[in-house]
Amino acid sequence: MSDDSDKGPSRRGFLGAMAAGGALAAGGARAASDPLITEVQPWNQLLGEGVDETPYGLPIRFESDVVRRDVPWLTADPISSVNFTPIHALEGTITPQGCAFERHHAGAIELAKPDYRLMINGLVDRQMVFTYADLERFPRETHVYFMECAANSGMEWAGAQLNGCQFTQGMIHNMEYVGVPVRLLLEEAGVKPEGKWVLAEGADAAGMTRSIPLEKMLDDCLVAFKANGEALRKEHGYPARLVVPGWEGNMWVKWLRRLEVGDEPWEQREETSKYTDVMADGSARKWTWVMDAKSVITSPSPQAPITHGKGPLVITGLAWSGRGTIRRVDVTTDGGITWHEARLSGPSFSKALHRFHFDVDWDGSEMILQSRAIDDTGYVQPTKDQLRAFRGENSIYHNNGIQTWLVMPDGRVENVEIS
């Protein structure tokens, strides 16, 4: 990494020299002085921006790579489509809302709070209408949950295809939600004894609908109106969305306008044509609601190559399970011959993203990196080949197979599969 060291006292050259100097330090070599230290820099001398400059800020321009990306060939148009969270560049567990992925079926609509209505109808004692202001008067709860698209990693069923964890695992975000338990809303309407299912419906032109068992709705579902401290973003369902912890993202109906109680499921388009998982024999699973335990190393990864040469290297990644908390994450650097327990780092909430770290001293040789999540039910994240043995390659959804990164001696990283 010292090939720039002859270019004079630029920052780039200095760092190269420092890397070389670091290796020689024990021999007593003295590093060249760093002009970023020895010369007065403009930010140390001139004034910065005033507090009236930015009422609501965006990230500094140097972070312009930390943005949503889309893959145009995936869908017919960008309205019923998906984009991807830049998980390769994020740390911790909370996803910044501004770069948290989007999936719409008829675009992101603008629905003002005064125009918002939530209806509860069907097998209830009283068909009800609530305004947004009504929602804010119910007792609230606060929870952190991941929301993963059922199709996350779906393009990888038949083999390594997209090069970057943003694209292969980035249909996910993790937010701290505040909202009203659906249970309280249903109690207000009074569910009749024969009520077993709830149809959730959105206000957009897709009229997004999913059938959800009443039991799940009463257990932990929320009608959320705040995420990561503020109102939901337009593209995430402003002013209110359904939160269905641990279950596939399609069920988290945005711009939620109606909950209907019934005695049978509705078998809507999004639970028959879509979000059903074709098996090798041509039959298909339906109602595959829960998202199983999964993980990915976010750095190094194809979009986050190693640029610092040999020595200390932080391996960082995310793990999550729709069945509960993550108990352990294992990491291998040799493609699964030997595994090491990583450190879980930060909060560990049920059905939420967990951060793991594994610190190594890289000798500059090729590595084959994988992570393996284990949740608190004892479920161990399977390999892609293990999943294919049960399901074939056509199920599109629910690919929680172990991801492999090939780290080359020059620090580049590639999405690969191994035997």
Interface with other proteins in residues 145-164 (CB under 8 A): 159-164
Q: In what order do the strands lie in the sheet with 311-320?
A: 294-299, 311-320, 354-362, 343-344
Q: Compute the least distance from the CB of residue 349 to other proteins, in Å.
A: 22
Q: Vertex 375, ends 227 and 232: CA angle to 5°?
A: 10
Burial (CB count <10 Å: 0-12, 13-18, 19+), residue 413: buried
Burial (CB count <10 Å: 0-12, 13-18, 19+), residue 19: middle
Q: Which residues contact 54 (CB under 8 A, 6 or more apart)?
A: none
Q: Is 188 in the site for other proteins (CB under 8 A)?
A: yes
Single-letter residue type at 37 = I
**Six-digit token pair at 19?**
């890397």
Binding map of other proteins across residues 364-403, x = CB under 8 A, - = no contact? ----x---x-x--xxxxxx---x---x--xx---------
Q: Compute the least distance from the CB of residue 30 to other proteins, in Å.
A: 21
Q: Is 267 in the site for other proteins (CB under 8 A)?
A: yes
Q: Vertex 95, ends 89 and 96: CA angle to 5°?
A: 90
Q: Is 89 in the site for other proteins (CB under 8 A)?
A: yes
Q: Compute the least distance from the CB of residue 72 to other proteins, in Å.
A: 7
**Six-digit token pair at 324?**
């509960």
Strand partners, 326: 375
Best CA proximity match to 170, nearest among 105, 86, 82, 248:
86
Pick the binder of other proteins from 38, 45, 54, 419 (CB under 8 A): 419
Q: Compute the least distance from the CB of residue 412 to other proteins, in Å.
A: 8
Q: Compute the least distance from the CB of residue 375 to other proteins, in Å.
A: 10
Largest CA distance in the chain: 84
Binding map of other proteins across residues 110-129, x = CB under 8 A, - = no contact? ---------xxxx---xxxx
Q: Compute the least distance from the CB of residue 134 to other proteins, in Å.
A: 5
| Region of 28-36, 68-76, 237-245, 352-360 interacting with other proteins (CB under 8 A) | 68-76
Q: Vertex 241, ends 237 and 245: CA angle to 5°?
A: 125
Q: Which is nearer to other proteins, 120 or 175 (CB)?
A: 120
Binding map of other proteins across residues 273-312, x = CB under 8 A, - = no contact? x--x-x-xxxxxxxxxxx-x---------xxxx-x-----
Q: Is 169 in the site for other proteins (CB under 8 A)?
A: no
Q: Compute the least distance from the CB of residue 378 to other proteins, in Å.
A: 5
| Size of residue set near other proteins by CB under 8 A | 114
